[in-house]
Homo-oligomer: A and B are copies of this chain.
Amino acid sequence: MTRISESTVRRLSHYYRVLEEVEAEGGRLISSHRLAEREGVTSAQVRKDLSCFGSFGRRGLGYNVAHLRQEIRAILGLDRRWRVGIVGIGNLGTALMLYRGFEQQGFDVVAAFDRDPARVGRTLGGLVVRDIAELPLVAGDGGLDLGVIATPLKAAQEVADALVACGVRGILNLAPRKLFVPEHVALRTVDMTVEFETLSFALTNLAPPARRRRPRG
| Interface residues, chain A, with chain B CB atoms under 8 Å away | 4, 6, 9-10, 12-14, 16-17, 39-40, 75-78, 82, 84, 90-92, 94-96, 98-99, 101-102, 105-107, 145-146, 169-172, 176-178, 180, 182-184, 186, 188, 190-209
Contact = CB atoms under 8 A, between A and B. Distances in A.
B6 A198 contact: yes
Instruction: Quickly give the copy total for this chain.
Output: 2
A177 B38 CA distance: 10
A36 to B, nearest CB: 11
B195 A208 contact: no
Contacts of A146: 196, 199, 203
A193 B101 contact: yes
Given A17-B177, A94-B95, A183-B209, 4 more contacts: A6-B198, A82-B196, A186-B202, A188-B198
A12 B194 CA distance: 9
B203 A102 contact: no
Contact of A4 (B6, B101, B205): B205
A133 to B, nearest CB: 25
A195 B190 contact: yes
Contacts of A76: 197, 200-201, 204
A102 B209 contact: no
B203 A77 contact: yes
B6 A197 contact: no
B95 A170 contact: no
30 contacts: A9-B198, A10-B194, A13-B191, A13-B193, A14-B178, A16-B197, A17-B176, A17-B193, A40-B180, A76-B201, A76-B204, A77-B201, A77-B203, A77-B204, A78-B200, A82-B200, A91-B94, A91-B98, A102-B196, A105-B196, A106-B200, A107-B196, A170-B200, A172-B196, A182-B209, A183-B209, A186-B199, A186-B203, A186-B206, A188-B195
